[in-house]
């Protein structure tokens, strides 16, 4: 079955980024020349998905507006003869169907995804976190969709992390299953206490999920931090059906975290055709003074 829909939860409060996120969603913070969320939408479009479902909350309308047609701006750009720029702005909203659902309370990532259940319906779907960027030759979502064509079951994207950082992530234990970069999931644990797992495979913000996850999310009681944890429902799902962990090719940046955000700006700046040489020269200059 084809994956046609991508859920992008953007309803979190972004407290790690206060005061910047008091009036601006963290997903709208700029990386080089576009907001974080635009890179994620572009990844979805490049991967051939038909529809995006944003899970939003109060104060996030800037995200919906960003992907909407702006009649006034379009007319002004035409008057000023900036047609190409106007087309670029319109392209992203024309390329994909975007709808939103509202998460009324920030009850956790699991709850945010559950909020999208009626729009997703009974079909496999993708989830991309609104502040997780992956810089890759082949879009991470596309890599996962290629694997899904083969396995037809849920997939979580993972990256290896140092043992002393596993407590910050959902950790997957699994066994190799003959496919490149792929492990069959045997156990999952959210933010494990040090020494409670041997695995270093951390879940990042890309998933392909079978629709049975919605029932499990509906029955999940609040876990770590009083939130409805996606990992708890995924663990339950992995006991009912096969689930795969996929070590994607590329580099992931947590743009919802201050240091991750700064690293993302540098990484995307260093791939920018016009800016990269100037930025490289500047990095060399300051590196010599540190
Ligand atoms: P985070 O924990 O990174 O987001 O959730 P947050 O809660 O906004 O951030 P901090 O910790 O307060 O700084 C991961 C993703 O899940 C979404 C967030 O928007 C983010 O994309 N999320 C989280 C929701 O949509 N709803 C929630 O209740 C919680």
- Domain boundaries, given as residue ranges, for the chain: 5-289
From 7, 8, 12, give the residue whose CB has the most ligand 1 atoms within 8 Å, as the site to mutate: 12
Instruction: Check if 106 has its Cβ closer than 6 Å to any atom of ligand 1.
Output: yes
Average pLDDT, the chain: 92
Share of the chain above pLDDT 70, in %: 100
Ligand 1 binding pocket mutation candidate from 22, 228, 256, 257 (most atoms within 8 A of CB)? 256
The predicted structure's pLDDT at residue 215: 95
The answer on pLDDT for 85 being more than 90 is no
Task: Pick the atom of ligand 1 nearest to 256's CA.
Answer: 3
Q: Is the CB of 14 under 6 A from ligand 1?
A: yes
- Note the pLDDT tens digit of each residue in 220-265: 888 777 888 898 899 999 999 999 999 999 999 999 999 999 999 9
User: What is d(CA 21, CA 272) in angstroms, rounded to the nearest whole number?
Assistant: 26
pLDDT (average), residues 4-14: 95
Q: What is the pLDDT of residue 80?
A: 84
CATH superfamily of 5-289: Spore Coat Polysaccharide Biosynthesis Protein SpsA; Chain A (3.90.550.10)
Q: Which residue has 């939860």 as its token pair?
A: 9
pLDDT more than 90, % of the chain = 73
Band (75; pLDDT cuts 50, 70, 90): confident
Q: Is 103 in the pocket of ligand 1 (CB under 6 A)?
A: yes
Identify the pLDDT of residue 226: 80
Longest pairwise C-alpha distance within the chain: 63
Ligand 1 binding pocket mutation candidate from 109, 115, 204 (most atoms within 8 A of CB): 109
Query: Is any atom of ligand 1 closer than 6 Å to the C-beta of 116?
Result: no
Distance CA 3, CA 145 (A): 7
Question: Does ligand 1 have an atom closer than 6 angstroms to the CB of 28?
Answer: no
Q: How far is the CA of 222 from the centre of ligand 1 (A)?
A: 15
pLDDT category at 4 given cuts 50, 70, 90 is very high
Q: pTM for the full model?
A: 0.94
Q: Are 14 and 29 in contact (CB under 8 A)?
A: no
Ligand 1 center to 12 CA (angstroms)? 3
């Amino acid at each position: 079955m084809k994956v046609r829909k991508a859920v992008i939860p953007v309803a979190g409060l972004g407290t790690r980024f206060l005061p910047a996120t008091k009036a601006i969603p963290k997903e709208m913070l700029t990386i080089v020349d576009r907001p974080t969320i635009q890179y994620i939408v572009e990844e979805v479009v490049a991967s051939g998905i038909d529809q995006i479902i944003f899970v939003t909350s109060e104060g996030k309308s800037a995200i919906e507006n960003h992907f909407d047609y702006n009649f006034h701006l379009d007319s002004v750009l035409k008057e000023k003869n900036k047609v190409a720029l106007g087309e670029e702005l319109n392209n992203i909203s024309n390329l994909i169907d975007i709808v939103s659902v509202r998460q009324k309370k920030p009850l956790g990532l699991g709850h945010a995804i559950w909020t999208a259940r009626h729009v997703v319906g009974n079909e496999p779907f993708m989830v991309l976190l609104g502040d997780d960027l992956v810089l890759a030759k082949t879009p991470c979502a596309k890599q996962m969709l290629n694997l899904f064509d083969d396995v037809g079951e849920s997939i979580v994207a993972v990256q290896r992390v140092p043992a002393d950082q596993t407590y910050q992530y959902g950790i997957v234990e699994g066994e190799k299953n003959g496919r490149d970069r792929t492990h069959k999931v045997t156990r999952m644990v959210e933010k494990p206490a040090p020494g409670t797992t041997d695995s270093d495979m951390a879940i990042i913000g890309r998933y392909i999920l079978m629709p049975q996850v919605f029932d499990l999310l509906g029955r999940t009681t609040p876990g770590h931090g009083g939130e409805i944890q996606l990992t708890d429902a995924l663990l339950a799902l992995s006991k009912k059906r096969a689930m795969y962990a996929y070590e994607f090719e590329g580099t992931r940046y947590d743009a919802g975290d201050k240091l991750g955000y700064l690293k993302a700006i540098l990484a995307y700046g260093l791939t920018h055709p016009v800016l990269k040489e100037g930025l490289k020269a500047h990095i060399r200059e300051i590196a010599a003074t540190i």
